[in-house]
Structure 1
């Protein structure tokens, strides 16, 4: 198995087993889809030669189930200015649009001198003796009332969730970039905000990631901040952070999917991506 979400076949991206969703064995999960779209957006900006621009906001719409079939991702610049660049991307399979993304890239400037409120308490990674620093992909560490562990069954409860992730490369043979890592991990906001005592009963239809800065590497954490749900529609917000501190937020909109609940309590992963149970 490739330790990546896709392998290249000319201009096509072919999903590996790592891209397989827990909702259906013939579906791709949003982590892979978001990572592929972010890669296309980032490459489009790089083609402009605009190395002064930094990704500040990514929105991904997951409006059709992406299957485990080859896909094509295209991107185009909507507007390029001195301090801002807007880029759109589309993922298609068999000529059919499956997902789309839009991103805002901004040029950094000097910080102003005025004082503005920000939270005094921020989420932090698990202790180094639990999760040593690494750039190698691994099973996520999870946190709930049970503390930090990689045992999914321990965290199937109604308490607040956090995750600590080492992102998997989007394309085989190509190092993952910090933006791609953040974009892929951001789909996990659905897990930390929608995972409860009976498993994951909501499926997200989108992802919005905001970044004040890029991650230091591929290690990224998510911490549930808020969740609002009415009549089967849920909005979850997670703080995004790395070992150096806060990065931004991830927001997902989700709909109830109780007939196809993912029971996380019986799932185990190994670092090579092998899954048992579920």
Structure 2
């Protein structure tokens, strides 16, 4: 970037109704020339919510599950998001979103929206809340991972990270989309994919373990600016791994996230 050039204070800038341009803050951890999936996941939720608002979907439906598949390389380039309703309904609705880069689908997502009602009389079974972020130690995650996205984060850990096991709070001072009001849910989801990078089992300079998907199940809608990640990473013996996370906000647990990993050695350096 040229000295004195404007540095945007968001992960994306809108081009038109369905297209978005990533900023330098959206660059990835495995390859700074690629997108980090985390803010793109939040952008998908934002597009889904805009679609529902445009078609005046029935009030009282909230997102209960979103499952996102990563189909290929996420180039650090403008993208188009196409959203459609697969299964309309007054109490249950299924919406699908496709992200295209250079006309090629790179992400597909399906979101279940469910009717809300008062079930507080039978609520229970969730884990205990986490220690609040203002009582946790800052962690320089950028010392482990490169890329603009990781550099943009405020990360606080409840205890020093251990291989395959870390609990951390993640936040950012950047907007998801420049100049646009974004829901707490979209902002929250825009940080969840960080989970696979906080509890590394092996040094990312020696082993690769990118995720091919991200699935969230929510029993409560998240609030506030902090995303809590109580994360465990397991590697199997045949090249597969799973990252499992209990999701929290500052009030308590909100649901669960899972990521399927492809585990393989880093290729030897050329030359």
1:170 deviation in Å? 2.1
Contact 2:29 2:36 in 1 (8 A): yes
- Give the alignment partner of residue 175 of structure 1, picking from 173, 181, 185: 181
1:227 deviation in Å? 3.1
Contact 1:83 1:106 in 2 (8 A): yes
Residue deviations 1:213-257, cap 9 Å, x none? Answer: 211123211111463523121111101101111100111001114
Distance 1:227 1:72, change over 3 A: same
Distance 1:186 1:255, change over 3 A: same
Secondary structure in 1 matching 2:227:
strand
User: Structure 1: how far apart are the matches of 2:189 and 2:66?
Assistant: 8
User: Structure 2: how far apart are the matches of 1:40 and 1:77?
Assistant: 12
Q: Which moved more, 1:199-208 or 1:22-31?
A: 199-208
Q: Is residue 224 from structure 1 mapped to residue 238 from structure 2 by the alignment?
A: no
Segments of structure 1 that go 5 or more residues without pairing to the other structure are 132-136, 147-154, 262-278
Q: Is residue 95 from structure 1 mapped to residue 103 from structure 2 by the alignment?
A: yes
TM-score, with normalisation over the residues of structure 2? Answer: 0.81
User: Structure 1: how far apart are the matches of 2:74 and 2:217?
Assistant: 24
Contact 2:201 2:233 in 1 (8 A): no
User: Structure 2: how far apart are the matches of 1:116 and 1:125?
Assistant: 21
Q: Is residue 139 from structure 1 mapped to residue 153 from structure 2 by the alignment?
A: yes
1:103 deviation in Å? 0.3
1:100 deviation in Å? 1.0
1:2 deviation in Å? 1.3
1:92 deviation in Å? 0.3
CA RMSD of aligned residues (A): 2.5
User: Structure 1: how far apart are the matches of 2:122 and 2:47?
Assistant: 37
- Between the two proteins, the alignment pairs up a number of residues equal to 245
Secondary structure in 1 matching 2:8:
coil
Corresponding residue for residue 10 of structure 1: 16
Residue deviations 1:237-278, cap 9 Å, x none? Answer: 1011011111001110011143169xxxxxxxxxxxxxxxxx
User: Structure 1: how far apart are the matches of 2:32 and 2:122?
Assistant: 52
Segments of structure 2 that go 5 or more residues without pairing to the other structure are 1-6, 139-150
Distance 1:203 1:260, change over 3 A: farther
TM-score, with normalisation over the residues of structure 1? Answer: 0.79
Contact 1:163 1:192 in 2 (8 A): yes
1:8 deviation in Å? 1.4
